[in-house]
Amino acid sequence: MVRYHIVVHGRVQGVGFRYYVREKAFLYGIRGWVKNRFDGTVEIEAEGMEENIRHFLGSVREGPRYAFVENLEINRRADLKNYEEFAIRF
């Protein structure tokens, strides 16, 4: 298991991005959370198996239909939080 902190830049608010991310997290068995930030980015904490995280990040880069992902800031974290589910935070 690994944990990543991700910040997504681009047109990622108001396009169903958080719901898309939650759907992909369920698909790949990822736990953690996603939330909009005040600066227009989306923040993600994701825990899961390394290969599943890789597939999840590929989906996040693609985004939903009306989103445009410019950049991902991806940082691996040393510790696990042992999240029980994947949630949308407000």
Domain ranges of the chain: 2-88
Banded model confidence at residue 1, pLDDT cuts 50, 70, 90: very high
pLDDT digits (tens, 9 = 90+) for 20-68: 999 999 999 999 999 999 999 999 999 999 999 999 999 999 999 999 9
Q: How far apart are CA 34 and CA 22, in angstroms?
A: 7
The angle subtended at Cα 82 by Cα 79 and Cα 35, nearest 5°, is: 90
Task: State the DSSP string of 53-64.
Answer: HHHHHHHHHH--
* CA pair distance 33, 26, nearest whole angstrom: 11
Angle between helix 50-62 and 17-28 (nearest 10): 150
CATH 3.30.70.100 for the 2-88 domain, yes or no? yes
Taking the C-alpha atoms of residue 78 and residue 23, their distance in angstroms, rounded to an integer, is: 25
pLDDT, residue 67, reads 97
DSSP structure class, residue 42:
E
Catalytic site positions: 18, 36
Which of 64, 66, 85, 48 is CA-nearest to residue 6? 48
